[in-house]
């Protein structure tokens, strides 16, 4: 076996496919500029790390099941002047996740609540943290199905281990007392340990109607809002803006 073949074989055993393909070119480049052995080794390992991180991020984004891709930079703060842009950009550092704090976006349809939630989700995936996205209806169905099939403890453990859990569109459908109780168990298990982002079209005072029980709703709100950044968005709909823009053309 030649030296070249041996190196490629070792790279295969060590799961270093990028190193296997780039080490020769990097060696030639290193010789030309007289890099030290350590600098050359750093260069080839860096090539491998870049690809591995990218793959890891892409895997986390796919696993999260986002409905679309969005960024904070794409959000039109000029169209929603009442939202605290400075705070949103500060939160993009993800310190709120390290502190196990929550974000809640309240407002009518079309004001960008889901856009911001997904944008924070993408940042979380890029930071190589665990992230899952559900609509409230999807989450409710998952919890009920797990409860019926005696898989609830396992599902709650899985969801509680996520660094960030996004629950979108809370308020469009009412929970039954059973599903509200299951939702409370989930929020309690994540309380002060991990972060949750919730979007809703209903103000907090109406959450008793969402969960079909004022007492359960109060207990859920108490845990969510204890360590939380709430955002009340009262601007106009982006979708209406786009429709009106099309009509003017």
Letter string b/e over residues 68-88, b meaning 16 or more CB atoms within 10 A of that residue's CB: eebebeebebeebeebeeeeb
- Tokens matching residue 84: 């605290």
Q: Write the pLDDT tens digit of every residue in 192-225.
A: 999 999 999 999 999 999 999 999 999 999 999 9
Residue recorded with tokens 């349809």: 109
Percent of the chain that is helix, strand, coil (3-state, to 5): 60, 10, 30
Q: Which of 47-56, 118-127, 130-139, 227-236 has the lowest mean pLDDT?
A: 47-56
- Please give the residue that has the higher pLDDT: either 101 or 37: 101
Instruction: Locate the domains of the chain by residue range.
Output: 3-58, 77-243
Asked whether residue 243 carries a pLDDT value surpassing 80, the answer given is: no
CATH number of the domain located at residue range(s) 77-243 in this protein: 3.40.50.300
- Tokens matching residue 57: 């991020």
pLDDT-based confidence at 127, cuts 50/70/90?
very high
pLDDT of 124: 97
Asked whether residue 23 carries a pLDDT value surpassing 90, the answer given is: no
Asked whether residue 157 carries a pLDDT value surpassing 50, the answer given is: yes
- H-run or E-run covering 38: helix 37-64
């Amino acid at each position: 076996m030649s030296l070249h073949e041996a190196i490629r074989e070792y790279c295969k055993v060590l799961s270093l496919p990028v190193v296997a393909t780039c080490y020769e070119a990097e060696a030639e480049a290193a010789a030309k500029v007289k890099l030290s052995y350590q600098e050359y080794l750093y260069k080839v390992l860096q090539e491998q790390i870049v690809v591995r991180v990218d793959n890891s991020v892409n895997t986390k984004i796919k696993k999260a099941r986002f409905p679309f891709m969005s960024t904070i930079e794409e959000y039109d703060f000029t169209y929603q002047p009442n939202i605290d842009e400075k705070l949103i950009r500060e939160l993009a550092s993800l310190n709120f996740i390290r502190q196990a704090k929550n974000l809640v976006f309240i407002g009518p349809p079309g004001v960008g609540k889901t856009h911001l939630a997904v944008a924070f989700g993408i940042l979380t995936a890029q930071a190589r943290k665990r992230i899952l996205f559900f609509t409230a209806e999807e989450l409710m169905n998952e919890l009920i199905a797990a409860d019926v099939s005696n898989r609830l403890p396992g599902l709650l453990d899985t969801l509680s281990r996520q660094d960030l859990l996004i629950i979108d569109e809370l308020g469009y459908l009412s929970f039954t007392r059973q599903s509200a109780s299951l939702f409370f168990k989930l929020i309690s298990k994540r309380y002060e340990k991990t972060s949750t982002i919730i979007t809703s079209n209903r103000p907090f005072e109406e959450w008793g109607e969402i969960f079909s029980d004022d007492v359960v709703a109060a207990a859920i709100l108490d845990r969510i809002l204890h360590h939380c950044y709430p955002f009340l968005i009262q601007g106009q709909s982006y979708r209406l803006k786009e429709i009106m823009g099309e009509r003017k053309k």
